[in-house]
Amino acid sequence: MEELSTDLKKAIMLLKSLILHYHGLDEDEKAILRAAAQQMNSEEELEWANSFISEDYLSAFERSKDYFSKNLALLPDAQKLQHLKNVWEDNYKKGYVTEMETTAILTLAKIWEIEKEFMSIIQE
């Protein structure tokens, strides 16, 4: 597997952390994020993402969209879909996905022009 750039790792960890932060970050969600960071060798990037979010929780989603537009949105559609699918699956590990979390993921899919493809994936 190709080593990911630091910027891409930051974007992926920001995506995961942003969605899991929607209702606060409980112990299960922290464990999911730690496991994802360990798997990607991106513990520092996770710390960066959490700091980014904590700077201002209310504007975190809007600020994240700008960051994603410079990193994740430029990837091929298949890779963008895979990252959204991974976030969906990570989020689902806690046993549920809320309407707000789903809306946030779908909003990103729409912005990245892969909404139809993502809907097909999650309906399986």
**How far is Cα of residue 87 from the mean position of the Cα atoms in its chain?**
5
pLDDT (0 to 100) of residue 47: 97
**In the chain, where are the structural domains located?**
6-122
> What string of pLDDT tens digits covers the 124 residues of the chain?
457 899 999 999 999 999 999 877 889 999 999 999 999 999 999 999 999 999 999 999 999 999 999 999 889 999 999 999 999 999 888 888 889 999 999 999 999 999 999 999 888 7
pLDDT (0 to 100) of residue 22: 85
pLDDT (0 to 100) of residue 25: 87
∠ Cα 76 53 40 (to 5°): 50
Q: Six-digit token pair at 36?
A: 């994802």
Exposure on the CB side of residue 37, measured as CA atoms within 13 A: 21
> pTM of the entire structure?
0.92
